[in-house]
């Protein structure tokens, strides 16, 4: 089934904002509309392919519709996701709703609007909320890839409505054909993950469907994938590791406590830390202006460098050492001894001449650890 009449291939240059990308197509620089408010960071690497359609209504002539990642086409146009689910329901492809007798789109109840209201013979009416899951790395699908207050509210409301005469469902759909498990993304949005774990009255479903080309879907290859509830609980813990990306505008030399003087070049730095309890408070302290100097990072952040990115890695085991060793393999340089007082590694502060979060090897490192595949 084709979702669009045509497509062209373009290559990533920059994401201007949540809804606009700068791309290169046939040697020309173009702007394209992006109907996906998620972060999609795993795709935002210079030269990464995106597929676009022409004739988009609005300010931009081109529209980003899909991409290619880890040998799978991935639909990015979230507006099409509900249409896909509607076709699945009409063709009785979702086991939980094969007996539905009628279907209503966009049902408003109280403060929320839900994607589907399904009537079923001799059963309670079913409320179904759909979540588009574009984040899938090495077979592990996660939602959300950006904080979503609306998504959290949907869970809270569905959980309450289950006590008021409805069967309630949330369905996560990924178009990455290699997805084999789903986990709520507590790294990015712990509030959503907490609401997921508390929603005992909601039935959660996760499915993947195959796109044989950038604009077509094969509904016969729809498959249900398991949800890892144990990892869902772990990923909400206030413990684990973290990566702070800082930017240094100009070179300087500074005395760092007992380390003595250290040189800091212009560019980006990645600090790898961990806190096996109270990680939220630890990171808030790192970002605070007024504090006693205790950690090596206190001499740098935020007085000397600006924090530009933060990656949470919520895991129950301590992974600080293997994390720093992998950073050592991909960095351009490092600050000897920085942050390494209580570990057997050379540093916890790594230099990158360009933005690390636009480099494939850095993003792979982060996602491997966040997705429990390394």
- Of the pLDDT bands very low, low, confident and very high (cuts 50, 70, 90), residue 215 is very high
C-alpha span between 62 and 279 (Å, rounded) = 42
CB 329 within 8 A of CB 371: no
Tens digit of pLDDT for each residue in 96-115? 999 899 999 999 988 889 99
| CA-based nearest residue to 94, from 208, 200, 233, 201 | 208
pLDDT at 374: 79
Is the pLDDT confidence value at 55 over 90?
A: no
Structure tokens belonging to residue 284: 């808030």
Other CB atoms within a 10 A radius of the CB of residue 174 amount to 26
CATH number of 79-234: 3.40.1350.60
pLDDT for 43? 98
Q: Using a pLDDT cut of 70, give the percent of the chain over it.
A: 100
Which token pair is 257? 């406590």
Q: What's the confidence (pLDDT) of residue 6?
A: 92
Q: What is the mean pLDDT of residues 213-226?
A: 95
User: Which residue blocks in the chain are alpha helix, DSSP H?
Assistant: 79-90, 149-161, 190-198, 229-234, 279-287, 320-330, 360-370
Cβ-contact 36, 77 below 8 angstroms: yes
In this prediction, residue 343 has a pLDDT band, given cuts at 50, 70 and 90, of confident
> What is the pTM for the complete model shown?
0.94
> What does the pLDDT read at residue 289?
85
Q: What is the pLDDT of residue 122?
A: 84
232, pLDDT greater than 90: yes
**Tokens of residue 255, six digits:** 């005395």
Instruction: Tell whether the model's pLDDT for residue 92 goes beyond 90.
Output: yes
CA 263, CA 339: separation in Å to the nearest integer?
Answer: 15
Whether the predicted pLDDT of 58 surpasses 90? no
Q: Is the pLDDT of residue 342 over 80?
A: no
- C-beta of residue 142 within 8 angstroms of C-beta of residue 136: yes
Residue 231: pLDDT over 80: yes
Query: Given a cut of 90, is residue 362 above it in pLDDT?
Result: yes
In angstroms and rounded to an integer, the radius of gyration of the C-alpha atoms of the chain is 23
What is the residue extent of each domain of the chain? 8-75, 79-234, 240-370
- Close Cβ partners of 122 (under 8 Å, ≥ 6 residues apart): none
pLDDT at 368 over 80: yes
Higher-scoring residue by pLDDT: 287, 331? 331
CATH of the domain spanning 8-75, picked from 1.10.1040.10, 3.40.225.10, 3.30.1180.10, 2.40.50.580: 2.40.50.580
- Taking residues 10-37, report their average pLDDT: 96
Helix (H, G, I), strand (E, B) or coil at 79: helix
Confidence band (pLDDT; 50, 70, 90) for 295?
A: confident
pLDDT for residue 128: 97
Spatial separation of the C-alpha atoms in residues 55 and 335, rounded to whole Å: 51
* CA end-to-end span of the chain: 36
- pLDDT single digits (tens) 308-321: 999 999 999 989 88
Residue 146, classified by CB atoms within 10 Å of its CB into exposed (0-12), middle (13-18) or buried (19+), is middle
**Integer Cα distance of 100 and 116 in angstroms:** 11
């Amino acid at each position: 089934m084709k979702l669009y009449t045509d497509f062209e291939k373009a290559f990533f240059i920059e994401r201007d904002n949540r809804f606009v990308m700068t791309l290169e197509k046939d040697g020309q620089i173009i702007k394209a509309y992006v109907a996906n408010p998620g972060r999609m960071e795993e795709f935002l690497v210079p030269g990464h392919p995106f597929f676009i359609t022409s004739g988009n209504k609005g300010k931009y002539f081109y529209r980003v519709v899909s991409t290619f990642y880890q040998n799978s086409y991935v639909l990015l146009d979230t507006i099409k996701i509900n249409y896909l689910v509607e076709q699945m329901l009409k063709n009785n492809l979702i086991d939980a709703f094969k007996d539905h007798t009628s279907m209503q789109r966009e049902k408003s109840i109280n403060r929320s609007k839900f994607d589907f209201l399904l009537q079923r013979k001799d059963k309670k009416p079913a409320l179904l909320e759909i979540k588009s899951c574009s984040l899938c790395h090495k077979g592990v699908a996660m939602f959300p890839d950006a904080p979503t207050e609306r998504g959290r509210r949907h869970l809270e409301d569905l959980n309450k409505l289950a006590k008021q005469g409805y069967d309630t469902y949330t369905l996560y759909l990924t178009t990455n054909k290699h997805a084999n498990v789903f986990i709520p993304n507590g790294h990015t949005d712990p509030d959503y993950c907490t609401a997921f774990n508390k929603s005992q009255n909601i039935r959660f479903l996760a499915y993947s469907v195959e796109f044989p080309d950038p604009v077509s879907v094969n509904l016969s290859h729809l498959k249900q994938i398991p949800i890892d509830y144990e990892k869902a609980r772990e990923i909400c813990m206030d413990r684990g590791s973290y990566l702070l990306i800082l930017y240094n505008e100009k070179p300087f030399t500074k005395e760092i406590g007992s380390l003595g003087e250290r040189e800091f070049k212009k560019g980006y730095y990645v600090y790898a830390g961990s806190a096996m309890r109270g990680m939220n408070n630890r990171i808030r302290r790192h970002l605070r202006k007024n504090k006693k100097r205790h950690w090596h990072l206190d001499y740098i952040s935020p007085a000397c460098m600006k924090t530009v990115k933060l990656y949470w890695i919520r895991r129950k085991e301590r992974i600080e050492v293997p994390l720093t060793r992998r950073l050592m393999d991909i960095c351009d340089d490092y600050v000897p001894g920085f942050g390494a007082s209580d570990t057997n590694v050379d540093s916890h502060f790594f230099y990158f001449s360009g933005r690390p979060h636009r480099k494939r090897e850095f993003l792979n490192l982060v996602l491997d650890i966040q997705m429990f595949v390394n």
